[in-house]
Structure formats: structure tokens, C-alpha cells
Structure 1
Amino acid sequence: MPKDLPGFYFDAEKNRYFPYKGPIPGSSTKPPPSRPPPSHQPQADSSCQSIKLRQKLIQSRELWGNVIFCRKEKLNFQSFYQKYHASQPMIWKYKGTKKIANIALGHVVADVSSQHGLMERDILVSVGANGLLCLFPVGQAEQEVDPMETHKADLVWPPNSDILPRRKELVKQLGSSYGSMTYLTSDVSSIKLLRKSCLPADIMSKHFLITTLGSESASGSVYLLDLSKPLHFGASVPIQEFHELASFEQTLWAADCDPEGRRAAIGTNRGAMLLNLETGISSWVLRCKSDVLSVQLVQSGKVVICGLRNGAIMTVDTRQKQIKRRADRSLTMSMPSSVCCLSSLDLWDQYFLASSMDGSIKLYDHRLIQKGPVQSYEGSVNSHTRIELGVDPSEKVVMSGGEDCYIRLWDIKTGEMLLKEKFMNSIPSAVCWPRRAAFRADGQDYRNYWQDHSLGAWLGSYEGIFYMDWL
């Protein structure tokens, strides 16, 4: 008698094994439709319902392959499971972090000097009110983070933490920023991790580009935060890895860098300029009467996308003369109000996300500017706040806060809202999804974020720092 092999069946006539493809022989040819997960379930039995749904999904995949039936439609199992997964986060709030992360957040992996020698550690870079810049060492629960200098994390979502299982390995230990904080001369307007394509695939850049708005007493400035050298926490001195690249009379609203990390696009109240990061020399690429509140350099480094206060989005080819740029209206589109955030996609470098201050969030293809957005994401609430967009490393979902204090997640391809929850009483204005060297734009050695529980999303608001992860 032939042995049973998982995933195979034995054909007696042909005297060989065959893999299961589609329905298992003898099973029903018309599978019963599986019920879609509700957008909001009662918290008392959400854990049990979650387990049951996962069991049904797994059973459906075993019976009918990677295609499952939902709402009388055929859906991809992996895509369906990721959507459900994204809608079930666990969220922690860190005490003692009020007003220090409401502007922007960044993530990098750097060497930290300790009594045991150099240790590679995740570093969270936060920017808060009054130009406050802080560096926080981050570790897993079992890593050596001094408990006397750690911000305590309280689970704030789901609200019934006694019913749902606690996953301690998902909680990040946020160390103290004591000795690794400084005040800049004016409010910080943007922070960007430099992209350096010249680095080996397993090495990520450890440099941040930071811009300040400027004030009556100080110019708008561009700074470089260099975290390539070992960090020393505990010393009562300002951050030493910090120096000014250039200063301007204009108000600096936003910045982005090219893949080589040599040039930066700067959005100002008079237009957009390119800054050579090695020489400090700048040149205008776009002059306009409306403030450029957001900028993006596409991966080629030859095109700058500018989001203006008047709602226009302009695509500027830096190789053309300014006169031609002004006249070429075919490279301009409009959003309903001021464009507060632009975010290019790395895996699909022809696409970028844009949000405006009326709550609109849209996906564009800059090759088809005249045809308008290719996707819209409904439900965000905004009127005047600059709120960041966050995209996960695998570029499956986009996240944004709102003035109603809700956090929302959408599926990038379909526009479906996957999560809408309120767990704070202030605007979630800063979002940061950590990236690793394995997440590469060329698709090589690319890991699926939703199968890796070592990374989660950082959120910043006036109330403090929050961390979101998934079971």
C-alpha cells in the first residue's frame, strides 16, 4: 500500500504521486463561501473569532489552493490574510515622551557603546516641539536595556488587554534619550533618511537630512545627522554627530535626497532648489509664488515632484531650463487643498502618494499626470495639519493619522480601509515604519514584512510615542 505524503495523492493507474492542485479529489466542486472578517468585532470574543477565522482561511487554502472564495469572489489567500492581519494590531504607549515626537520620526540601525563593548541597536530618531531632537536606543524585551532608564510601555489597544493574549516579544524597550538630545535654533520641518544606492545591499545608510523652518532670529537651515560612528548614551552633552550644511533666508518646508545621497531637493516659500550635500552649493529648479510644502526626488534623481500650498503638484525635470518648466502645464495636476505630504514608492518607482489638508489621499503615476489619480483612499479627516503618510516596507498598506485623532490603514492597491481606530486624544501626526537592509528596491532577497514580527510601526503625537505591532 503506497504511503500517504502530505500535499500529494497516489494515482493507482499511473502508479505515481501527484501534487494537489485545486480541489482535492472527492471534495465538493463548489466550496461554500467563507464569511469576510467584520471591520469591527466585539472585543470580548475577538480573540476566539480571530483564531476561528485563521483556521477557516488555512482550511480553505488546503482545500482549494491559493485561491479562496469570499463575497462570492475569488481572492488570493495571502492578500486576504494580510488585509485581515493589518486590521488587528496591538499598540503600546511610552510614558514620559510627551511633546518630543509630534513632528517627525525616523529609524536607523547604529552601533552603541556599552560596558560590554559595541552593540548594534535600533535607534529611534524623534523630532518634537521647539526644535527638540532626541535619539532613543530600542531593544527587544530580552536585550540589555537598563530598566532604570527605560520608558515604561502600556498597552492601549485593544482596550481589553486581560482577554487577549499578551505577546511580550512584540513589545519594544525604549531606552532613555538622556545625553542624546539637543535643541535646534527653530522648529524642525522635515527629517529624511539619506538613500545611498552606492552602498552594498546589506548596508543601510546611517545619515539623516534635517531641515528647520527658520524664524525671525534664525535662518532656515539644512543639517546632517551622522550616526555612522558609535553612539554614547548617558553623557550629559548635546548630540555631537550633528552639523549644519547650509542656511537660507527662505522658510524651509521639506526635503528629500537622491539615491546616491549627493543632492537634496529643498521645498521653500519661494519655490524648490537643489542642494549639493558635498559642496553646500544650491541652485533653483522651480520658482513660484506658492510655498512648496513637500518634495520628492524620484529614484533616477532627475525629476523633482513638488507639492504646493495652492494644491498644485508639479513634476520638474531638473535637466530643463526654468523657462520651459514654467510654461509646461502638462506636468501639473491639482489637489483640492494644500499638498502636505508626498511619498514615492520604491518597488513601483513610477508611482507616488500625495495627501492634502482637506483629508484627500491619492496615488498617482507621474507618467500619466493628465489622467489624474489611479487610486483614492477615503475617510481621512484633516483641515490644516501637516500629517505624514507611512508606507510599510513591503508597500502593501499606507497609514495616516487624522485631526479626529484616529489612525487609519488602507490597502495601497485596492484603496480598501483596513483599520480605523482611536487610541489617543491628540493627532497622530508622525509615522515611521522601520526598514532593514533586506528590504531592497530591486526585489532581490526581499522579505515579506507581514511574515516578520521583529518590525512594527512607530507613531508620534503631542501625547508621546506609540508602537504598533501585529500578532
Structure 2
Amino acid sequence: MPKELPGFYYDAEKNRYFPYKGPIPGSSLKPLSIPSPSHPKQADGLCQSIKIRQQQLLQARELFGNVISSHKRKLSFRAEYEKRHASQPSIWKYRGTKKMANIALEHVVADITSPHGLLERDILLSGGVNGLLCLFQVGKTRQEVDPVQIYKGDHVWPLNVYQTPRQKKLLRELGSSYGAMTYMTSDVSCIKSSRKSPVPTNDVMPNYYLITTLGSDSAPGSVYLLDLSKPLDFDASVPIARDRFHEVAAFKQTLWTADCDPEGKRAAIGTNRGVVLLNMETRVSSWVLHSKSDVLSVQLDQSGTSILCGLRNGAIMNIDTRQRQIKRSGHSSSAVSMPSSICCLASLKLWDRYFLASSMDGSIKLYDHRLTQRGPVQSYEGNVNSHTRIALGIDPSEKVVMSGGEDCYIRLWNIKSGELLFKDRFMNSIPSAVCWPRIGGLLELTKDGQDHRCYWQDHGLGAWLGSYEGIFYMDWL
């Protein structure tokens, strides 16, 4: 009887051994590379990995486990699945929302009154042209937002039903009322939650939202708190915001942006003369940065002691609020420079050592606070901008960053690799406002003790987009 050899079989007629044609259990043969897809070529710049067909991806997982090979490199099945998922959103446009949300968007959770009693609902706060501030009810069904005015949603992407296996049913109904709209003294420049900490506290501002106005020749730049701790009544004839606005401070300067510390006790206000630190309880303000260059974006860290400032001259400065500040030009030795004016700064919450920065030349970079002088650790190519302030959106799992462009395209990149996951145009105006509710990400603890954020598989809300053309909603089923 011939001796058995692993991976070979014996042919008695030819009196020799032959190798098995396929992989066998326990063999260490190199996995086969996944062939290139035969479907039509996608947009230029999209990462090669998301072009892998779903059937081939599943087949590779069955054959080789969680690690697969493609284009002479090893890939994680889970990571590739999430990239594919991110590249296939469904998008709706809401009729009648023109000019309502091209400046700012913020997701809110508040109680509303209804014939069935008090109900907790998702609320969308938006800032539009001429100081317009709107509150919208968000519901999974039309019954959840009745009897207020309904804004019908039209499916705008993908237009070809064969491009995606998912349904086109509207996932979020949007409703409002006449009393849920008000005009501020000047254009709204920023809307932020006054408390970013997910841990409940007994503070005096449990559900307040910070709203700043730009200021004008006839009105100062103002800082307001919007009180949503009391139930909202969308059926009332009296404007909802009339008794809910509290003016905290007013300044002669132009107020470009703002951010709050996790407890909501202090706010950093970016102006055309520097940065003001405002105590929300005592209403006492102090200048922590004097600058000749406008501060267009600010981010308070989780400790509330450090302020990241993005200036019009392209400088990014880190200010320690515990130290006595002097007048700065924006070109100090500790500053990082980008090629053009800073559009947006966005700190990562799960990885608090990192922050994203975008500038008005279209650049988007990822920086490490510890290594800022060495330059960015990642870049995201392809965005188009020359002079417009455009917000960045980050998904709750902090794996994807989104930005609009002056070419009216929306782009999504993988934060870690910098790969372009999605690029398409479905509107005729610049998508300048983005709100991707960052509740903290859903965590899934596996047997190996590692946490896997599974936002793409199970999530509550998608991303809201605002442009001059109206409000758009992106979701992934």
C-alpha cells in the first residue's frame, strides 16, 4: 500500500503521486487572489477593494476565513464588507426645504406633546439663510410626525434600482409647523449641543443647545441657549422658540463658530479677533487668544482645558486655557499650517489623540496631537474647494469621513486608509452642512475580547445633509 502524503493522491495506474487541485483543510497554500469584477467601471479614484463583487467576497471568506487576499495584499473581510456598505447609500431629498439648512444642522432628542401623551422624538435643528432657524420632527412613519406639516421625500440616489439590492422606501419622515420656525437677529453661524458627555449628570443644563449668530451692522454677534428640556408642542400657534431662547452674551465681533466642553459649562467662541472662553453659568467671558486672523473653527478637547483653533490664514493652534495668553499672530512655533484657510476641525472621540482638518483648497488631513509638527498622518484626496466653508461629517464608529465639494459632489473616505469609498452628485448646490449623529458608536464585544464597532450593520440614524437646495438624508440599510 503506497504511503499517504498530505496534499497528494496516488494513481496506481500511472504509479505516481499527483497534487490535489483545491485547498484542503490544514494546508498552507497561498490563497487565490480575487479576480477583478466584470461589472461596469466605477468612478475614478474609488478604492479597488470595494469593487470586489459581493459573491466573490463571501466565497473568499468561506475558503480562507476572515483574512482574504486581493491585489497582492491581505484584507480583512469585515473591513472590506464595511467599505462596500459605506459605498452604497440610499439618498432622499425633502421637498419644500430650500434655504432652510445650508448653514448648520444638529441632531436633537427631545420630548414632544401628542394626543397620546409625552413622546421622545428625534428632532433636527437647522440654520438657513437670513437667520432662519427651524425645528423638524423626525419619525420612522408618517403617523409619528402627524398632524404637523409633512415634507415629502424623493429618492435621488441611486436612480437605477439595479445598482443596489436595498429598497427605496423612505426611512425618515420629516415634519414641522409654522411655530417651529423663527428668524434670528442675524445669520446663524453655529448650532452645537451644550453637553457632549454621554454620562448623565445633575448639571443645570441637561438639554440645552448652543446657537451663535454671525452679527451684522445692525445687530451684534450673539450667543444663545435653546432650552429643549421642556416638551415641544408642534401644534401650538405660539412660536416654539419664543420662551426657550436665553441670550447668554453679545459681542461686537463677528462670531464664526463655537464649541462646548463635555459638561456644557464653558463654550469657546471663534471670532474675527480671536477666541473667547465663555462660562455658560456665570456668563463671564475671557479672551484666550488674540489674533489678527479670523478663527473659523474651534474644538474643545474632552478635558475642556485645550482648544484647537483653525484660522483664516491656514494655521491650526492648540491653546491651553490654564495658561496666561498673549497676543498671537497665528504663526507661532507650535502652529501647524495648511495650504489655505481652515474650513473645519473635527476631533475623534473614540481616538482622542487624532483630529481631522479641512482647508479651502480642498485638502483634508488627519493629524495626531502628539506629532503635529511632523505633518499629517493621513490625507484624503479628491475634494474640490476654493473659498467655501464646508463641514466635515464623521460616522459614529469613526471609520468614515464625509465632505461636500464646490463641484456639488459628496465624497466619503475611509479614515484609516484614506481610500475614497463614495463619490457622486445628486444636487445642484454645494452640500455645506453635514450632521451625522455621533452617539458614540455601537460596540460589539467578541470572544477574543476585541471591540468591533458595528454601526453599518445596526444603527439608528443616517447622515443629514444641508445645502441651498434643501435637506437631504443618507442611510445604509
**TM (normalized to structure 2)?**
0.85
- Secondary structure of 2:456's partner? helix
AA aligned opposite 1:430: A
After TM superposition, give the deviation of residue 447 of structure 1 in Å: 4.9
Change (3 A) 1:167 1:63: same
Q: Which residue of 1 aligns with 2:425?
A: 422
Q: Summarize the alignment of residues 279-428 of structure 1 with structure 2, pairs less than 5 Å apart.
A: 279-323=282-326, 329-428=332-431
Q: Summarize the alignment of residues 43-442 of structure 1 with structure 2, pairs less than 5 Å apart.
A: 53-141=53-141, 143-146=143-146, 149-161=149-161, 164=164, 167=167, 171-197=171-197, 199-200=199-200, 206-238=207-239, 239=241, 240-323=243-326, 329-436=332-439
Distance 1:457 1:284 in 2: 35
After TM superposition, give the deviation of residue 35 of structure 1 in Å: 3.8
Distance 2:271 2:38 in 1: 45
Q: Which residue of 1 aligns with 2:460?
A: 454
Change (3 A) 1:374 1:205: farther
Change (3 A) 1:38 1:352: farther
AA aligned opposite 2:462: G
Structure 1 segments unaligned to the other structure (5+ residues) = 1-22, 44-49
Structure 2 segments unaligned to the other structure (5+ residues) = 1-22, 44-49, 444-448
After TM superposition, give the deviation of residue 109 of structure 1 in Å: 1.4
Change (3 A) 1:24 1:105: farther
Q: Deviations over 1:389-438 (max 9, x none)?
A: 00001100100000100000011111111111000000000111123376
- Secondary structure of 2:333's partner? helix
Distance 1:197 1:322 in 2: 27
Identity among equivalent positions (%) equals 70
AA aligned opposite 1:305: L
Q: Which residue of 1 aligns with 2:20?
A: none
Q: In 2, are the aligned partners of 1:453 and 1:469 still within 8 Å (CA)? A: no
Q: Aligned pairs, how many? A: 440
Q: Which residue of 2 aligns with 1:18?
A: none
Distance 1:408 1:29 in 2: 39
- Secondary structure of 2:249's partner? strand
Change (3 A) 1:401 1:177: farther
Are 2:472 and 1:466 equivalent residues in the alignment? yes
Distance 2:325 2:458 in 1: 46
Q: Which residue of 2 aligns with 1:31?
A: 31
AA aligned opposite 1:222: V
Distance 1:242 1:24 in 2: 69
Change (3 A) 1:281 1:148: closer
Change (3 A) 1:83 1:162: closer
After TM superposition, give the deviation of residue 320 of structure 1 in Å: 1.4
Q: In 2, are the aligned partners of 1:106 and 1:192 still within 8 Å (CA)? A: yes
Change (3 A) 1:147 1:94: farther
Change (3 A) 1:88 1:208: same
Report the more deviating stretch, 231-240 or 95-104. 231-240
Q: Deviations over 1:158-193 (max 9, x none)?
A: 122477556356621111243111100000111112
After TM superposition, give the deviation of residue 70 of structure 1 in Å: 1.4
Report the more deviating stretch, 139-148 or 149-158. 139-148
AA aligned opposite 1:129: V
- Secondary structure of 1:386's partner? coil
Larger radius of gyration: 2
Change (3 A) 1:141 1:370: same
After TM superposition, give the deviation of residue 34 of structure 1 in Å: 1.6
Change (3 A) 1:439 1:194: farther
